Amino acid sequence: MNSPSGAEAPTQASLLHPANLLTLARLLLSPLLFLLILQADGTRGASWAAFGLGLALAGTDFFDGRVARRANVTSRSGAFLDPLADKVVVLGAAFCLVAVERYWWVPVTVIAFRELGITAWRARWAGAGVSIPARRSAKYKTSVQGLALAMAVMPTLSGADAVLTAALWVAVVVTVGTGLQYLMDGRSAVANSREM
């Protein structure tokens, strides 16, 4: 069946589709990243192993979407797993960096509250039958968070505390900003659904 634009409508992908397997790999390998950060306690989480694995996990986040688009598939499991994997990697790595005293707990807690709060709102809206599509800014937010984390575990920046702190606070600002944007989108969607 064709869409009105003439392009074929996406088909539903199984959990074992390559795009979903990339997302699952990111989720399953995240504990290894956490372990590498915690074991590098003497360098406050910085090691080339953690940096390399972090880049590999970021690569799975980039390629899972490309694989799905190229195959013209969509997946309910992928729509659930992809943001879950992002949150597990980002929050897990960030709290590990708090544990090794690379990050201050306050900005990391702000990011965690935003991520978990939006997840709760999304579930509440979904329960009411309202779907709020993610904006492109949500992917930018994840990229900014990932960049801050990559910088924090890069050995060549291990002494650049001011730079790492600034990168973390930039991630906080972007994270909170996109969260507020999502809440406004959600309220508009709820209001529109009540008018229909």
Structural domains in the chain plus CATH codes: 16-189 (1.20.120.1760)
In which band, very low, low, confident or very high, does the pLDDT at 3 lie, cut at 50, 70 and 90?
very low
Is there a contact between 24 and 81 (Cβ–Cβ < 8 Å)? yes
Q: Which residue has the higher pLDDT, 62 or 24?
A: 24
**Residue ranges of E strands in the chain:** 11-12, 73-74
Kindly provide the b/e burial profile for residues 131-143, where b requires at least 16 CB atoms within 10 angstroms of the residue's own CB.
ebeeeeebeebbe
The answer, yes or no, to whether residue 41 has pLDDT greater than 60, is yes
Tell me the pairing of strands 11-12 and 73-74.
parallel
Q: How far apart are CA 23 and CA 13, in angstroms?
A: 13
Which of 63-72, 76-85, 89-98, 187-196 has the highest average model confidence (pLDDT)? 89-98
Estimate the crossing angle of helix 76-99 against helix 48-71, to 10 degrees: 170
Q: Which pTM was predicted?
A: 0.81
